[in-house]
Structure 1
Amino acid sequence: MTLDDLRAFVSVCESGSLSAVARELGCTQSAVSQRIKRLERELGITLLERQPRGVAPTHAGRILHRSAADGLGGLDHALRRLDDLRQGGGGTVRVTTGATTVRHFMSAAVVAFRQRHPRVNLEFQTENSSRGCFQALAANTADLAWITIGPPVRGVQQRPVIELPWVLAVRADDPLAELTEIGPDDLAAIRHIRLPENSVSRHRLDELLTRQGTEPDSTTSVADWDTAILLAELGLGHAVVPALPGWHESARRDLRLIPIPWLPALAAGWAVRQWDALSPVAVEFARTVAASLTDPEPEPEVVG
């Protein structure tokens, strides 16, 4: 039994897929399967069972997964602390998030953090969903994940940082651009540019609109919030999106962002495996981002 065997086993339990773990590790599915079989031979008990889609831990597998995940998390924390000591105050903070997150949520924090810690490496990797971010945390390829806060996820701790009110992005010459806020009847008549299909924001918005009995016609869908806003600015439809910190309406002549006050705000923030297992520099980076968002410089009004 090796640490690599245990890491592979934990990753398979959390992803439910041998092939997904093989891709993450850069090896074959057969190699991952051999690691699991080696554990099963040494322990004398079956740890995984086949499911219609993927694999799942047996009762014995769940027992080992809980203990191994906790133990590996503590070991990874110790190894990162030792590496920080070896580098004399350096180290690495690994962040996974969406493609446009750094621009909207972290640009000021990155500058401030870099000034205080010039020797710390900041590594950013892009995922297109919260699930992908959770898998990166489980695979130990990321320390921090910036996500749209959703339902509880086993093995992941979520911490909200900022609330994002919903706005309607419209072209400046659209009749709706004259309104000071958007009501349910206004929303029912829009040409809706839908948010990414696998995103928490889309699921949350769909739930809210269904609950209100408001189901606008959809004309297109996009891969991220920025594209939805851009298409609305170009007149291809209307986008219901969170009010992003990095979007300043006053700098875009053809765009209006109109509040939708009756829709509950969306929360964004950090996800980690264990807060107390993070390195000190990772904790400080997370706090720096939070501080930059909760005490920002004054911004222009969203309605022109």
Structure 2
Amino acid sequence: MTLDDLRVFAAVCRAGSLSGAARDLGCTQSAVSQHVKRLERELGLSLLERHPRGVVPTSAGHLLQAGVAEGLGSIDHALRRLEEAARAESGSVRVTTGATTVRHFMAAAVVDFRRRFPRASLEFQTETSSRGCFDALAAGRVDLAWITLGPTERTVEQHPVVEVPWALAVSAANPLAAKERVEPSDLQDARLIGLPQNSTSRLQLGAWLAEAGIRPVFDTSVVDWDTAILLAELGLGIAVVPALPAWTGPGHPDLRLVPVPALPALSAGWAVRSWDALSPLARAFAETVADHCGRRLVASRGN
């Protein structure tokens, strides 16, 4: 049993097929099959169930998959730390985020970080859910994940950075645009634009409204808040969104963001495997983002 055997097995579990793992790893399907067979032979257990459309882990395979994900993530992280120590400030920082996070939370911080560490590499990977971010962290594919904070994984630490109030995004022609504030009762039976049902922010919003006895209808689903804002501004629906500064001002003349103060603020921040184990570069980037988010919050309160 080798590290390569375990890496290949983890790749098969992620891809759901031997051929998919072969494509991801840049090798042949036969080579992938040999690695898996060697593991099964040495362990004396079947690790995968073969189906016409792919493979799924057996109960033994699930146990090995969980151990491999955590173990390889730690090994890869340690190797990267050693490499970065040798290269000083010319290492890399790998970040996973939602589709619009960089623009709304990190733009100024990226510029600042690049100025301070010109030889460092920043790598951004887009995930569509916190679950995907947690998987990327566990596998050691990223150092930092920017997420909507919520129930945590056992192997993941969460570090709050910013809290954003909710607002109702509506077209200027919508009667709700004239309100100074929107109450949860105003959303009873409203047809809302929302993120996918498995997103943390959608789940939190639905739970908060349910506590107020409100049952809105999410009849339009979008992949990110920017798309929800576009549809609301065009008058194609309304959306309860985080009140982000980028959506106010002359760039959105037909959009109104009406505060919904009764809803608890949306908390966003970093998820990491271990804050103490972050590389100096990764910690510097995380702290730079937090610093700029804090400055922007102070500036918005002063306006």
Q: TM-score, normalised by structure 1?
A: 0.84
Aligned length: 298
Q: 1:31 to 1:215 in 2, by over 3 A?
A: farther
**Range with bigger deviation, 110-119 or 133-142:** 133-142
Equivalence map 1:18-29=2 (5 Å): 24-25=24-25
Q: Please list the CA deviations of residues 172-212 of structure 1 after superposition, one character each: whole Å capped at 9, or x if unmatched.
A: 22211111111122111533112233311112222222332
Partner of 1:216: 216
Partner of 1:46: 45
Q: Which runs of 5+ in 1 are unaligned?
A: none
What is the CA–CA distance in structure 2 between the aligned matches of 1:216 and 1:95, rounded to whole Å? Answer: 34
Cα offset for 1:301? 8.7
Partner of 1:298: 299
Q: 1:71 to 1:237 in 2, by over 3 A?
A: closer
Partner of 1:7: 7
Cα offset for 1:216? 2.5
Give RMSD over aligned pairs. Answer: 3.1
Partner of 2:230: 230
Q: 1:236 to 1:65 in 2, by over 3 A?
A: closer
Partner of 1:78: 78
What is the CA–CA distance in structure 2 between the aligned matches of 1:151 and 1:51, rounded to whole Å? Answer: 34
Equivalence map 1:68-107=2 (5 Å): 68-69=68-69, 71-107=71-107
Cα offset for 1:85? 3.6
Secondary structure of 2:283's counterpart equals helix
Secondary structure of 1:169's counterpart equals strand
Q: Which runs of 5+ in 2 are unaligned?
A: none
- Structure 2: which amino acid aligns with 1:46? L
**Percent sequence identity over aligned pairs:** 57
Q: Please list the CA deviations of residues 247-281 of structure 1 after superposition, one character each: whole Å capped at 9, or x if unmatched.
A: 33464221111111122222211122233332110
Partner of 2:57: 55
Q: TM-score, normalised by structure 2?
A: 0.84
Q: 1:78 to 1:216 in 2, by over 3 A?
A: closer
What is the CA–CA distance in structure 1 between the aligned matches of 2:197 and 2:249, rounded to whole Å? Answer: 26
Do structure 1's residue 122 and structure 2's residue 122 form an aligned pair? Answer: yes
Secondary structure of 1:125's counterpart equals strand
Partner of 1:254: 254
Question: CA contact under 8 A between 2:167 and 2:242: conserved in structure 1?
Answer: yes
Cα offset for 1:50? 4.8
Q: 1:65 to 1:223 in 2, by over 3 A?
A: closer
